[in-house]
Amino acid sequence: MKKLNPFFSNRIFFLKQFIIIFVLVSLVLGVIFYLYNRSESAITITKIKSNQKALVLAQKKYIESAIFAISRDILFLADFIENHRVYEHRNSVLFKIAELNTLALSFRKGKYDQIRFLDLDGMEVLRINYNKGEPDVVDLADLQPKGNRYYFKDSIGLEKDQIYVSVLDLNVENGKVEIPYKPIIRFAAPVFDNAGKKRGIAILNYLAQELIEGLDFFRLNDEYHHMLVNQEGFFLHYDEKPNSEFAFMFPNSEEKRVSTIFPLFDEYIAPHDEGQIHNSEGIFTYTSVYPLQSNWKSSTGSTRADDDSEYMIDAHDYRWQIITYVSNSTLKNSRKGSKNVLMLLFSFLVLAILAAYVIARLQLQKKLSAMEIEKLAHHDGLTGLVNRRFYIELLKHYLALAHRRKNKLALLFVDLDRFKPINDQYGHGMGDYVLKIVSDRMNLSVRDSDIVARIGGDEFVIILNDLTNKEQVIPVVERLLKSLKESISFGSHECSIGASIGISIYPGDGDDVDTLTRKADMAMYEIKKSGRNSYSFSK
């Protein structure tokens, strides 16, 4: 059975998520409108409360999904730095490739003010500056020591796969808050080499203005206000009073705490994770967002001149609160206009569609990020075929399956003929192109249920599963040989290769990975000795 095209698979996933979320929101709206027929005034208040609950929930999901996506990016960056051995200046080719690919990452993502790698002393080894959409690589002479920065001190002790997340604050340059204000969250992850030795820290400076502006997307009415508050009770975002934002970055900021404007905050909102309050001021709806997962770390990141303290924050202490506020005067105006049922219905319908669309998109992005990471771990970067490590896991799986079903299984060891002269004569560019063409031809020559893997430079293995007799292998092998003999064009050049194929059969030739692989390899070498471009079963 053919696999579903990834494009259609992702569309179906998105559509399912959208329908589920839309149906759930629509059910809530249906209940609200049913209650409206019984009490117009009560339903108006209930509608606004439900609206605000849905709003803060959607904003929370939006923030959590954004943080998750960045956490995947920082882990990917750490793995990328490790794979390209950026910490080793001896390999200038790998380092240049790393620079170019990191530059591309900055351009494509468009949300990281800086992408950096710091060595164990805090010295920058690689830095990409975003420059408002025109990213560039910082010259070696302009790289700076960052060993005294709080985020380096707090993240250098991280273990494998741990993530550091700084507080959300304003960027500071030369000891002063940068103008115009630039909200930043720093994400860091340790980089280890193949021997398990820590080599430094990968850092992403996330432009958090994108996160803050994203919250405004959920606003339905200019009279409904919302806030994002940190664990110290300061505004990170307040649409009604922007001049109160990030007051903790400056001296004498106590009068700009949330509790100064809303006295109920300290007693009724700050001590709780979520809830809703309807009092003489209006309706306050709030929920909590925890940027840290259990294995992550953070610090205060304080930049105030009068506060040099730095201490680690655990996952429970690092908290933001999303708060929406609808004043009583706004509620009165809403009740006066609540007779227009069609307008209310239309507004809720738009809310349902927007919330369903945004959350479904975020879920799809989360799925695609996970799929991308899994593909990098299990597939060859050049050809897209299964790599050696994943091939061993798959062969074990299919051997167990063949044992249960009492079927046969064939393992084909394929070594390309006359491939080395192509690299020597035309260069690795053509060699890589030939490997990609060969990989495509192999995939087209086998069934969808069979597995093609690249285990070396020009060495491949193919798992033919669910066989009843070894004669079923011969047509497949002959198709492979015929396909691989066809000439390959590369610009003005043309070449022709072949393949030597050794075959081992389960259970006759063995019942484990090593035995089957070794016997198929030996059979392949017999063909190499006797003239190439043919196949042989293990004897």
- Give catalytic residues, as residue numbers: 458
Query: How many whole angstroms separate alpha carbon 55 and alpha carbon 47?
Result: 12
Q: Please, which residues bridge with residue 79 across strands?
A: none
Among 279, 251, 247, 249, residue whose Cα is nearest residue 260: 247
- Nearest CA to 214 out of 169, 183, 186 is that of 183
Q: Quick one: tokens of 436?
A: 């990609």
- How far apart are the C-alpha atoms of 353 and 106, rounded to whole Å? 32
Place of tokens 């002063």: 176
CA distances from residue 471 to 408, 523, 537 in whole angstroms, order as listed: 11, 17, 11
99 Cα distance to chain centroid: 20
124 CA to centre of own chain: 25
Find all residues with CB under 8 Å of 387, minimum gap 6, and list them: 378, 379, 380, 453, 454, 455
Tokens 């669910």 identify what position? 466
Q: Treating both helix axes as pointing N-terminal to C-terminal, what angle do 40-83 and 92-109 enclose, rounded to 10 degrees?
A: 170
- 344 CB burial (10 A radius; 0-12, 13-18, 19+): buried
DSSP secondary structure letters along 166-220: ---EE-EETTEE-SS--EEEEEEEEEE-TTS-EEEEEEEEEETHHHHHHHHTT--
Amino acid at 192: F
- Secondary structure of 23-83 in the HEC alphabet? HHHHHHHHHHHHHHCCCHHHHHHHHHHHHHHHHHHHHHHHHHHHHHHHHHHHHHHHHHHHH
Contact 219, 125 (CB under 8 A): no
